[in-house]
Amino acid sequence: MGTETSRTVLLINPNTNAKTTAMMTELAVAGLAPHGLEVIGLTAAAGPAMITDPAALAESRQHVRHAALDYLAGPGGGAVAAIIVAAIGDPGREQLSGELAVPVLGIGQGSIHAASRGGRRFGMATSTPMLAASLAKLVATHGQSEHFTGVRLTASEPLVLAADPEQQYRELADAVGKSTTLDGAEAVIIAGGPLSATALRLAQTTHAEIIQPVPSVCGLLLETLGRT
Which one, of 135, 31, 145, 36, lies nearest residue 90 by Cα? 135
- 209 with 219, same domain: the answer is no
Q: Is residue 21 part of a domain?
A: yes
∠89-91-96 over CA atoms, to 5°? 135
118 belongs to a structural domain: yes
Are 196 and 125 members of one domain? yes
Predicted confidence pLDDT, tens digits, the chain (228 residues): 444 468 999 999 999 999 999 999 999 999 999 999 999 999 999 988 899 999 999 999 999 999 999 999 877 667 899 999 999 999 999 999 999 999 999 999 999 999 999 999 999 999 999 999 999 999 999 999 999 999 999 999 999 999 999 999 999 999 999 999 999 999 999 999 999 999 999 999 999 999 999 999 999 999 999 986
DSSP secondary structure letters along 95-145: HHHHH-SS-EEEHHHHHHHHHTGGG--EEEEES-GGGHHHHHHHHHHTT-G
On whether residue 2 sits in a domain, the answer given is no
Exposed e or buried b for every residue in 121-142, given b needs 16+ CB within 10 A?
Answer: bbbbbbbbeebbebbeebbeee
Output the pTM of the full model: 0.94
Q: Are residues 120 and 209 in the same domain?
A: yes
Number of domains in the chain: 2
Residue-level pLDDT at 76: 61
| Nearest of 153, 209, 204, 203 to residue 186 by alpha carbon | 209
Question: Which domain does 68 fall in, by range?
Answer: 8-106+215-225
In a domain, 1, yes or no: no
Specify whether 98 is located in the same domain as 116: no
Query: Is the residue at 49 inside a domain?
Result: yes
102 and 180 part of one domain: no
Q: Could you tell me the CATH number of the domain that includes residue 73?
A: 3.40.50.1860
The answer to whether residues 181 and 100 belong to one domain is no
Q: Check whether residue 158 and residue 175 sit in a common domain.
A: yes
Looking at the structure, tell me whether residues 207 and 113 fall in a common domain. yes
Check residue 2 and give its pLDDT.
Answer: 42
The answer on 76 and 172 residing in a single domain is no
Residue 1: predicted pLDDT: 42
- Determine the 3-state secondary structure of 199 from DSSP: helix
Q: What's the confidence (pLDDT) of residue 74?
A: 78
Q: How confident is the model at residue 164, as a pLDDT? A: 96
Given this model, what pLDDT does residue 6 score? Answer: 84
Residues 119 and 201 in one domain: yes
